[in-house]
Amino acid sequence: MKKYIYLILVAIALAACHKGEDIQPTYYDCQFNFTDSSGWNTHNTLYQSLIDDMTANGVVGVTMSVYQPNTGLWVGASGKADLHNDVDMKPCNISRVGSTVKMFTATTVLKLMEEGKLDLDDKISSYLEGDVIDKIENADQATIRQLLQHSSGIYNYIQNLQFQTASLNDFIKEWQPEELLEYAYNKKAYFEPGEDVRYSNTGYIMLGMLIEKIEGKPFYQVFEEKIFQALGLNMTRFAAKDHIPFGIARGYIDMYSNLQVVESTYYSGWDYFTADGGLISNPYDMNIFFRALMSGQIIQPSTLEMMLTWQTPDETDPNFFPISYGLGIFKIETPQGIAYMHSGDAIGYYANMMFFPDDSTTVVYAVNSNYGKIDQFVSTKEAMEKVIAATKQ
Amino acid sequence: MYRILFILFIFPLTLFGQENSIPISVSFFNESTAIPFTRFFTAPVHPGIQIGTAFVYSEKEHSRLFQTVNASYFYHNYLAQGIALHSEFGYEYRHSSGLAPSALLGLGYMHTFATTEEFTFKNGRYEKKTDRGNSRLFPSISFDIGYYLKRDDVRSPKIFIRYQSWAEYPYSPGFIPVMTHINLHLGLQFSI
């Protein structure tokens, strides 16, 4: 009897189950526009075993780039880009890199400052109006600098449980900026502007709106013109134009913390149109960007100095490295020294980029799976320590 | 565990003999993940159906105390589908106008399955496996407003709208401990 009940349950489950999308392996073909010498890199085995270890623990796929002045650039991959079609991940494969876009947003705002189009100490309310200012506490007082540094105190809409459940309720919804901001309306600010620092996606949505207001075009078009094209980041784009670009690695989520994953490639519609997420790239392009930024190729050294002006939160997180907030960038104190970094999540994706100023070691890794048990292998302090220990000599 | 099952599902059966007829309740509902009492109707619609019966513990002119036993199924696109056995203790006030508000407190068992292809990590790699589903505890609290079509008939059919808030536990240990949902039911209760 028990067996029959079980068979009926399984039959119902199977009958109502979406099958995976059949995709030709050539869909994931990609290539770099440089001569890849990773195979001859002194640390090739070490780096490869680092990412192989991630996939051996349950991460679906990983791409990574490591730059060191002495050994040059290494790129590698491990695991799968697509489980349904059994396609291996390649080092050039693109994936969603979520909030790492905030460093691009901040860089663009700083470039606008260099062009004399804004002052960092201008209030955001000098540029934006309506509900975004009237209904978000502190928005009338916060400056552009405070939004960049997460010191505005403005409530982070992602923390709103109503948003989180609404997002689950409609996984494939494509959210517009105003719909997301509504989850921050009439919410108490964390503190007075400038008093402390606390991460807020809401502030970065507003910064995207600021870029659009000043430039009169979508902020992601400004990213393209001022950063992507300028640096030749051929594999980098923003999700707004093409939500699921050709060749993107499939994303997977471990929703129930049991290493049983389902595909989530189409589930990140909340960051298609806002400057707090939505970037699609690969670790090669991101490594190029981070090094160019830190070497003064995108913004002037004096502007970079502003970007790297730090504020430390009043409360420390015992589960993470000691951290300070810059303008769209963080400084962490690791056992191997100071690193500048930004990480980012999307649904089924995670990426992290780190730059060590003492020797310019630059490490970027991206994975196409997250949540549940997978997070401990990619985004925790322990996971990052493992990456840093293997890559920072 | 068996004691709980007895109270929820077996004990009510002993009350069958007290009834001249058996009330049957059929409702169609829209399920959503949401914080209880913050949303009413949500889109997109995630359809569900519930069939149940009720056993009366005490009945007065305008009120009754009862227990329901229900079987239900919902399909939440891209997230999960669930099949459940569920019982509720309820109180109904029946106004002479035919309107009848109720409150119900429930507990049940739910088995959920993925609605998309699932891959299981085994021996260092992911494999396609038959989804055996996940076991959940299914507590709920509901409020409904019903209308008895024949005001003077105690066995009258009743149409009702029910706002049911419920939780799925455990959901994702160490990640999301509990998931809350709401179901908005439109149903009919009749006797056979």
d(C-alpha A139, C-alpha A117), whole Å: 20
Q: Tell me which of B72, B116, B129, B179 to substitute to probe the interface with A (most A C-beta atoms closer than 10 Å).
A: B116
Q: Which of A88, A96, A380 is nearest to A235 (CA)?
A: A96
The number of beta carbons lying within 10 Å of the beta carbon of residue A164 is 16
Domain regions of chain A by residue span: 23-391
pLDDT per position as a tens digit, B92-107: 999 999 999 999 999 9
Mean pLDDT of residues grouped by 10 in chain A (393 residues)?
Answer: 55 68 96 91 98 98 97 97 98 98 98 98 98 98 98 98 96 96 98 98 98 98 98 97 96 95 95 96 98 98 98 96 98 98 98 98 98 97 98 92
Q: CA of A53: how far to CAs of A13, A50, A252, A376, B166, in Å?
A: 33, 5, 18, 13, 40
Chain A residues close to B121, C-beta within 8 Å: 58, 259-261
Q: Which residue has the higher pLDDT, B130 or A138?
A: A138
Query: A126 — contact with chain B (CB < 8 Å)?
Result: no
Q: Structural domains in chain B? A: 2-10+26-191 (2.40.160.20)
Separation of alpha carbons A369 and A59, rounded Å:
6
pLDDT at A49: 98
Q: Which residues of B touch A250 (CB under 8 A)?
A: none
The superfamily CATH assigns to domain A23-391 is: DD-peptidase/beta-lactamase superfamily (3.40.710.10)
Q: How far is CA A307 from the centre of its chain?
A: 18
Residue B11: pLDDT above 90? no
Q: Which of B83, B118, B121 sits opposite A58 (nearest CB)?
A: B121
3-state SS assignment for residue A96: strand
Task: Supply the pLDDT for residue B7.
Answer: 57
Confidence class for position B26, pLDDT limits 50, 70, 90:
very high
ipTM beyond 0.95?
Answer: no
Q: pLDDT at residue B21 above 90?
A: no
Instruction: Please report the pLDDT score of residue A13 as a whole number.
Output: 57
Instruction: Write out the two tokens for A241.
Output: 């134009």
At B150-182, the pLDDT tens digits run 988 888 999 999 999 999 999 998 889 999 999
Collect all residues of chain B within an 8 Å Cβ-Cβ radius of residue A10: 130-132
Of B34, B43, B75, the CB nearest to A165: B34
In this structure, the number of other CB atoms found within 10 A of the CB of residue B2 comes to 7
- Give the number of other Cβ atoms within 10 Å of residue A306's Cβ: 16
Q: Which residues pair with B106 in a beta bridge?
A: B88, B140
Question: Dihedrals φ, ψ of A25, to 5°?
Answer: -55, -30
Q: Is A182 at the interface with chain B, CB within 8 A?
A: no
